[in-house]
Amino acid sequence: MIAHRGGGKFAPENTLAALRKGHELGFRGVEFDVMLAADAVPVLIHDETLERTTNGRGNVADTPAPVLGTLDAGAWFDAHYRGEPVPLFVDAARLCLSLGLWANIEIKPATGHEATTGRVAATLAAQVWQDAPPGLVPLLSSFSEAALAAARSAAPQLPRGLLLDAVPDDWHARMTALGCLSLHCNQARLDERTAQGIVQAGYGLATWTVNDPDAARRLFAWGVDAVFTDRLDLIGPDFC
């Protein structure tokens, strides 16, 4: 089980507080999104724009990291988290290491910044996790094949996962071309036959976003290796 965006529905997404919450609730794996600020510094945020999860306005790609660091990324979720900043990727990486959390780093490039985001995120991840034990080596994933290709060139030693909404007929060729070890897809668009085909081909399979325990049980019965969940209370770290 992987805590979606750090803390699921229990903390403001993509913040250090969310990573701490996932750890507090017993999760050993977390997922979060990495995008580049205007100065090419990687930060944790999902949207290309600031309005939904911060008190800022405008585009992430047009805003330097020092400015992003002054924004409030917690109050939208709950007053308890007021003042929680947009974190730097390097700080999130170090926190995961200190807490013993395995990380699925979703490379989330702003439009037009795909290759650069993949290269920068992979380079920094390789530096921070260079001495990590095998169980904590992170996974780089993305919907962007250009970002994954750049990540592979920058840090070929780090495992990669291809994100897809629905699984297309050419999924195997795309995985092979990018050297990916796992495929991550929308659980609502996955069927048992496809799931078993991916697993039998030797790839890891993860699905998002699974918030219903019955759905999680069905997916595991199909051979799915992991699910991303927001409901850290219903689908806990030792579920199934």
CB 52 within 8 A of CB 76: yes
The H or E element that residue 66 is part of is: helix 65-68
Q: Is 4 a catalytic residue?
A: yes
Q: Please tell me which residue in 4, 23, 113, 184 is annotated as part of the active site.
A: 4
Residue found by looking up tokens 């990486």 in the block = 93
Secondary structure E strands in the chain: 2-3, 29-36, 42-44, 102-107, 139-142, 160-164, 182-186, 204-208, 226-229
Find how far residue 31's CA is from the centre of its chain. Answer: 4
CA distance 150 to 22: 29
> Which residues are part of the catalytic machinery?
4, 46
